[in-house]
Amino acid sequence: MQFADVVTKRRMVRAFESRSVPSDVLDRVLDLARRVPAAGNTQGLDLVVLEGVQTQRYWDATLTAERRASFPWPRLLDAPVLLIPVSWPSAYVERYSEADKARTGLGDGESSWDVPYWYVDTAFAAMVAMLAAVDEGLGALFFGQFEHEAAVKLALGIPEDRRPVGTIALGYAADEQRPSASSKRPRRPFDEVVHRGGW
């Protein structure tokens, strides 16, 4: 698939078939996701992958049985793979304490970073995973954990010093998709978004 086609065909998929994703396909998606740029080549990224029945641990931690009854996207729970991109803030602080980066002052602590690059780099990985999924003929949905982050970390054994940036559901898209209200918003025009030579 041409790159432009991958980008333009990407959609947030909220209904999945339950059939599994072949391991070689999933491994290609994961391998591409780990190859993203990282500030200082810190590589403070981890990918937690749940497949098949393992996904139930995630849903048990985030979506109670009572809420499932009225959940607007029940076929999201059919996604055979959940991928949690996890950032490692202290790895960035440590890396920027090293001799070649110390002059930046970013090794003084997380609060020294005006832009927390551990989130930027982990978001790069999430986007690459979603685009790689499209290239493999899969559907994907990125969604936040919000108030469930602590429960997800506990359920999956994610270390305290790591921060999940969200969750990506992966799998084969079901034929019928129920769009979200947000998907009906028009895209801003090109000339409104692009500012050549300055604002």
Alpha helices in the chain (DSSP H): 3-9, 23-33, 55-62, 65-68, 89-95, 117-135, 149-156, 190-193
Element spanning 118, H or E: helix 117-135
If pLDDT is split at 50, 70 and 90, which confidence band does 180 have? Answer: confident
Residue-wise pLDDT tens digits, 97-126? 999 999 999 999 999 999 999 999 999 999
Residue ranges covered by each domain of the chain:
3-176
Q: 93 pLDDT exceeds 90?
A: yes
Please tell me the distance from the alpha carbon of residue 28 to that of residue 133, in angstroms, as a whole number. 9
Residue-wise pLDDT tens digits, 120-163? 999 999 999 999 999 999 999 999 999 999 999 999 999 999 99
Task: Work out the number of other CB atoms within 10 angstroms of the CB of residue 100.
Answer: 9
Both tokens of 172, joined, read 């084969």
Indicate the CATH number for domain 3-176: 3.40.109.10
Q: Can you give the pTM of this predicted structure?
A: 0.92
Q: What is the pLDDT of residue 8?
A: 87
